[in-house]
Every structure is written in C-alpha cells, then in structure tokens.
Amino acid sequence: MSQAEGGVVTSAFILLFYLVFYGFLTAMFTLTMWVMLQTVSDHTPKYQDRLTTPGLMIRPKTENLDVIVNVSDTESWDQHVQKLNKFLEPYNDSIQAQKNDVCRPGRYYEQPDNGVLNYPKRACQFNRTQLGDCSGIGDPTHYGYSTGQPCVFIKMNRVINFYAGANQSMNVTCVGKRDEDAENLGHFVMFPANGSIDLMYFPYYGKKFHVNYTQPLVAVKFLNVTPNVEVNVECRINAANIATDDERDKFAGRVAFKLRINKT
C-alpha cells in the first residue's frame, strides 16, 4: 500500500469514525431528550413556581408601553385602533355565544376530569358588550382615540390552575403614579364597572384542553386627561392572593404605562 493510499484509507477511517461518533451522539441526545419529555405532561407544566403572581398587561401593546394620541393626526392612533379591533374580535357576542357557556358569576368554573382523562374544558363567555363605551361596537370615536378619551384594556396573564382572588371578588384599579400624574389623569370610567374581574373565568386549564378560553378584560376610558403632558398611569389588581409589590418584577399584578394626549 503506498503512502498516499494509506493516507486515503486513514482519512476514510477518520471520516467514518466521525460519522459514527456524531451519529451516536445525536442518538444519545435524542434519547435523553425523549426520556426527559416523558416527564412533562401535555396539559399542565411540571412546575409553576415562577408564576405564583400573574402579570398584568395592557392593550394596545405599544413600544415602550406608551399610549400617545395625537387627536388631530389620525395616523398616530389608527394602528392602535386596528390592533384593538383585531384583539377584541374573539370577544364579539356572537362568537362567544356560539362557543362558550354562560356561567354563574361570582364563583369559579371548575371542571374536574371526573375520571375521564384530560376531558376537554368549556370556557365562560366574556362578551364584548360588557366593555360598554370601550367595546368599540358602532363607535364613531374609535375607542375614544379620535376624541382624546382613549380606552386602554387591561388583562391578567393566564396561569394554569390559578384560582385568582381566592374565592373573593377582585377588581382592577388605576391611579396616577405620582401626585401630579394623579392630577393630570383626570376622570376615568372602567368597564365592567369597578374594573372587577369575575371568578368564573378561573381556573384556566391550559391551551390544549381549554381551547376557547376567553381572557377577562378590564377597559379604562380616560375622560379628561390633561393634554400635552405625559401621564404615568399604574393599574393593579386587588385580589387576595395576588401580591402587587414585587420590587424586581414591575409587572407582577400591576402594569404601568404612559398616556399622552396631544391636542393643538
């Protein structure tokens, strides 16, 4: 065997070796990942320790969470309106009536499996009309954006098997962050009244089995925000089992956003 041939043979051996070696490594990875995934169930995560306090979020979702409305400039708020239209579409009464149940308010809508493993769960209706002036149905003011009285929607993050409120009623409240913010904020109205969230929307059973789950919303309509100033608004949920004072997580049980109405 010549030296060149020897080199070729060695290279072939090495190539083969790496094929086998990496093939084996891939198989080993696949195997261990498969074994690991066996420990994870389809309907509930194994651990939820990070989600003891659900976060709050606003709609429209904007960059830097600031809702800026130039009343005269349609374009400045049109994208918000588009987003909201889309966001609220599943809440249309017709869709809700078609897919979801009418539940009894004031109590959790528990649906135990009753022996049937992973029995599909029903969801309670949250009708768009419950949002009153902020429902945007037949609303020429476009959720108030065209008149400088914008609606901001607040929702609480979904957490599987979380009994929000611990069987007591809960509601969302909003305040100006500092004193001057409170002054500039002016009056606002909330839908549903008092910004309350009903217990019937809990618990959540996970997207796989709770297919049509409709997240409850609270709409806040700011009626007379002082124009041309930035107002820091903070909304939080008042519920027995939701802490809102986590120093590190600024969105645990609360949400802060900026509101600015520019009028000329």
Partner 1 sequence: MVKKTLEIYSVELSGTKDIDQTDKGDGKEKYRGLKNCFEPKKNHQKEELKKELDLDDHKLSIKELEKKYGTNIITGLSSTQAAELLAQNGPNALTPPKETPEIIKFLKQMVGGFSILLWIGAILCWIAYGIQYSMNKSSSLDNAYLGCVLALVVILTGIFAYYQEAKSTNIMATFNKMIPQQALVIRDSEKKTIPAEQLVVGDIVEIKGGDRIPADIRLLSVQGCKVDNSSLTGESEPQARSSEFTHDNALETKNIGFYSTTCLEVSTSPVGTATGMVINTGDRTIIGQIASLASGVGNEKTPIAIEIEHFVHIVGGVAISIGILFFIIAVSLKYHVLDSIIFLIGIIVANVPEGLLATVTVTLSLTAKRMAKKNCLVKNLEAVETLGSTSIICSDKTGTLTQNRMTVAHLWFDNQIFIADTSEDHSNQVFDQSSGTWASLSKIITLCNRAEFRPGQESVPIMKRVVVGDASETALLKFSEVILGDVMEIRKRNHKVAEIPFNSTNKFQLSIHKTDDPNDKRFLLVMKGAPERILEKCSTIMVNGQEQPLDKSTAEAFHTAYMELGGLGERVLGFCHLYLPADEFPESYSFDVDTMNFPTSNLCFVGLLSMIDPPRSTVPDAVTKCRSAGIKVIMVTGDHPITAKAIAKSVGIISANSETVEDIAKRLHIAVEQVNKRDAKAAVVTGTELKDMSPEQLDELLTNYSEIVFARTSPQQKLIIVEGCQRQNAVVAVTGDGVNDSPALKKADIGIAMGIAGSDAAKNAADMVLLDDNFASIVTGVEEGRLIFDNLKKTIAYTLTKNIAELCPFLIYIIVGLPLPIGTITILFIDLGTDIIPSIALAYEKAESDIMNRKPRHKKKDRLVNQQLAIYSYLHIGLMQAVGAFVVYFTVYAQEGFKPSILADLRVEWENGIVNDLEDSYGQQWTWYQRKYLEWTGYTAFFVGIMVQQIADVLIRKTRRNSIFQQGLFRNKVIWLGIASQIIIALILSYGLGSVTALNFTMLRPQYWFVAVPYAILIWVYDEVRKLFIRLYPGSWWDKNMYY
Segment 205-244, which members bind partner 1 (CB under 8 A)? 206-208, 210, 213
Find, among 55, 191, 209, the residue nearest to 123 by Cα. Answer: 209
Query: Which residues lie below 8 Å from residue 65, measured CB to CB, with a gap of 6+?
Result: 58, 255, 256, 257, 258
| Residue in the block written with tokens 């929000």 | 164
Q: What tokens were used for 135?
A: 């429902």
HEC string for 114-134: CCCCCCCCCCECCCHHHHHHH
Find, among 89, 99, 103, the residue nearest to 120 by Cα. Answer: 99
Task: Give whichever of 33 and 175 is closer to partner 1, judged by the CB atom.
Answer: 33
Q: Does 34 bind partner 1 (CB under 8 A)?
A: no
Segment 2-21, which members bind partner 1 (CB under 8 A)? 9-10, 13-14, 21
Q: What letter does residue 225 receive in the DSSP assignment?
A: P
* Interface characters, 92-131, with partner 1 (x: CB under 8 A): ----------------------------------------
Minimum CB distance to partner 1, residue 163 (Å): 15
Asked whether the beta carbons of 157 and 237 are under 8 A apart, the reply is: no
* Interface characters, 53-72, with partner 1 (x: CB under 8 A): -xxxx---x-xxx-------
Among 46, 75, 112, 179, binds partner 1 (CB under 8 A): 46
Task: Give whichever of 142 and 158 is closer to partner 1, judged by the CB atom.
Answer: 158
C-alpha to C-alpha distance for 213 and 203, rounded to whole angstroms: 10
Which span sits near partner 1 by CB under 8 A: 46-54, 80-88, 93-101, 191-199?
46-54
Q: What letter does residue 36 receive in the DSSP assignment?
A: H
H-helix or E-strand spanning residue 7: helix 3-38
Footprint of partner 1 (CB under 8 A): 9-10, 13-14, 21-22, 25, 28-29, 32-33, 36-37, 39-40, 43-51, 54-57, 61, 63-65, 155, 157-160, 204, 206-208, 210, 213, 246, 248-252, 255
